[in-house]
A and B are shown apart, each in its own frame.
Chain A
Amino acid sequence: MEAYVGYFLYLLSLLTVGGIYAIFALGLNVQWGFAGLFNVGIVGFAAVGAYTYALLTTAESTFHLGGFGLPLPIGMFVGMVMSAIVAAFIGLICIRLRADYLAIATIGIAEIIKLILKNETEVTNGPRGINKIPRAWEHFSEERFYSSWPMSWFGTPENWEAFFDKLPNWYWQPLFAATILLIMYIIYRMLERARTAPWGRMMTAIRENEPAARASGKNVTRRRIEAFVIGAAIMGLAGALFAQHLRLIEPTNTFDPAKVTFLTWVMLILGGSGNNRGAILGAFLIWTIWSASELVITGGIDLISNIFSTLDPSFLQTRAGFLRMMLIGILMQVILQRYPEGILPEVRPASPKAEKQDAGSMGETK
């Protein structure tokens, strides 16, 4: 029984983190898949969302600014808004230029955000980071939650404690995973709608042939900024969820560009850029590979250290993490060279009218 609970919780954690990365990939899909904007500062937008969420929702603390203890949805929403503001700033400057410049600029903004988080010690507690970040559902058992309004209506603190004591201590995990998957689904539905709406078709037109789109009177720059800001807002939301999952965030290791940014990129390219379903599929697939590789490598280390008993196992352990990173890099190269379309190739959105007219003759779906 215990073992099954373990497997169940492992599956739930796969779904949780996979879902968070799927939201990242969906955000990136708006920028890269829809509008062809090369954003490699995903980690920066994630950090903005995560830190905004953490500062707004944690309990009051002497280590960092505030700890305002606001309701969690407000924290997530403000995280999205902050991330969108940062994106608007960078978008206004660099969106007209060629894609490489946007890449450099987004790397720059991610580095600047990291510098701010490291140096503004009074606000963010510097390199030590913020801990005790409230997680959706889990914090219901905390005192400050059940003694505050509206929950104080429903029963005495003793009743709440008794209620949560009855539940297993992992009760929040299925709820948290379900929340993330629900948010992911909502974003997916909204983006699917945006993709087939005139806005999404215009985005495709701008990406494929910018002069033609400009000639037919589309405001190319404005649409690109829109896509960039929407994508960044989604990334900010994913960052807030990431903070909830981790409970402790700090500038350097949590927001390591090699992990967050590149994993998301590999996910989107593998799944198929331009295709929302592909983004989700790629995210879950790569995350499963990534976490399974940890198990495989741990097993491998055990095997090797059994054979070569003179070898220091800590030597292998420190190196094994880098091997996983290298595999991600090689995977990226292989996908780019062999399967540039991804698993689920992009399906061009067609207007419903066009579909009716050309039914059978044109095949506008591809």
Chain B
Amino acid sequence: MWEFVNYYFIPGLVLGCIYALGAIGITLTFGILRFANFAHGEIMMSGAYLTWTVMAIAAGAGLTLHPLVAMVPAAFLVILLFLGTDKFFYKPFRKEDTIKVVMASFGMMLIIRSAVQMIWGPNQITFVRGIAKPNATLSEITSNMGLQILMPNKHLFIFAGTIVLVVALGYLLNRTRIGKAMRAVSDSPDLAHVTGINVDKVINATWIVGGICATAAGVFLVMDTQMLETTMGFRMLLPMFAAAILGGIGKPYGAVAGGLIIGLAEELSAYPWIGDAPLLSPGYKTGVAFAIMVIMLIVRPQGLFKGRSF
């Protein structure tokens, strides 16, 4: 039992949190700007690289920063990157066919990735080296209760960070004017426009929210795997889209739920449910997201939370 919780369930939840944060940005862009932003994974990856750079600069000044602290200035840069790409590469297509923007986002993906590869080089780097020890207090408390939970601090940080961001997002969407406007545009852009909502402002807000969540997702992923490399954005793209579709396009909470489900499903698929062998060879883990997505598209294209279906 403790093996299941420690080696399958908790890593699944951690991965789910990362997918969830990435999927929030995708689902918001899909809902508000009405296109699938394929550059999202690369933006996430560049956020992680920027965080690494902030940490490196601070280390050069004799300061050791935690990735979560270094993430804050990096998120600002990512937001600037998002707004810049929107202004120069997505805005010209706003009145045209959606498919042109999707293609432009593919070009963007290529540009961002090769820019990152040119600046930081193709080699793998990492935030912190060494093996993460499980949190001593937590394992002591839980072992007294009969179930020893081994959780490194980084996982606790990831959970806490995800909860904070999701709660903040909930507050933004339900309580603030701009959040309500975002939901209105997502539900019906024409109606929102008629009622006098400034669509450009809403679009900028979408990029800002997406940028913050994407940076967090990228940094959390690197904290979890201790590996920063240029293809990680592309690897995350499919599970994040699967999470957004599973939750329902345009539904941020759906994206969170979808992300958690996909993350858990990927990890649990390798658990030996029947006999001793893993149910699915771990090499095929990323295929699980695709399978869930395809099943969802056949069975219920609007997703779990009644998002938009096309």
Contact = CB atoms under 8 A, between A and B. Distances in A.
A105 B297 contact: yes
Contact of B100 (A93, A105, A262, A340): A340
A333 interface: yes
Nearest to B36: A100
Interface residues of B, number: 44
Contacts of A109: 290
Given A111-B290, A119-B281, A333 B238 contact: no
A157 interface: no
A53 interface: no
B106 A115 contact: no
B35 A100 contact: yes
A326 B118 contact: yes
Nearest to A104: B241
B102 A100 contact: yes
Contacts of B103: 38, 265, 269, 332, 336
Contact of A329 (B93, B108, B286, B310): B108
Contact of B117 (A108, A265, A322): A322
A97 to B, nearest CB: 6
A336 B290 contact: no
B297 A319 contact: no
Given A98-B310, A118-B283, A104 B293 contact: yes
Most chain B CB atoms below 10 A, which of A93, A115, A118, A323: A115
Contact of B294 (A105, A257, A336): A105
Contacts of B89: 333
A103 B115 CA distance: 24
A194 interface: no
Interface string B293-307: 110011001000000
Interface in B107-148: 107-111, 113-115, 117-118, 121-122
Contacts, number: 120
B137 to A, nearest CB: 39
A329 B117 CA distance: 14
A319 B115 contact: no
A353 B245 CA distance: 47
B73 interface: no
Given A101-B297, A104-B238, A111-B286, A329 B281 contact: no
A318 interface: yes
Contacts of A97: 297, 301, 310
Given A99-B99, A265-B103, A329 B114 contact: yes
B286 A115 contact: yes
Contacts of B84: none
Interface string A291-334: 00000000000000000000000000011001101101110110
Contacts of A329: 107-111, 114
A107 interface: yes
Nearest to B115: A326
A313 B155 CA distance: 41
Contacts of A151: none
B99 A326 contact: no
Contacts of B310: 97-98, 100-101
Contact of B238 (A108, A323, A336, A340): A108
A37 B289 CA distance: 23
B114 A323 contact: yes
Interface in A332-353: 332-333, 336-337, 340
Contacts of A333: 89, 104, 107-108, 111
A108 B293 contact: yes
Interface string B168-197: 000000000000000000000000000000
B92 interface: yes
Most chain B CB atoms below 10 A, which of A318, A326, A330: A326
Contacts of B207: none
Contact of A103 (B36, B107, B118, B298): B36
Interface of A: 36, 38, 40, 93-94, 97-101, 103-105, 107-109, 111-112, 115, 118-119, 257-258, 262, 265, 269, 318-319, 322-323, 325-326, 328-330, 332-333, 336-337, 340
15 contacts: A40-B38, A99-B99, A99-B102, A100-B99, A101-B245, A105-B297, A111-B290, A112-B290, A115-B284, A119-B284, A322-B118, A325-B114, A326-B114, A329-B109, A336-B104
Interface of B: 30, 35-36, 38, 89, 92-93, 98-100, 102-104, 106-111, 113-115, 117-118, 121-122, 234, 237-238, 241, 245, 281, 283-284, 286-287, 289-290, 293-294, 297-298, 301, 310
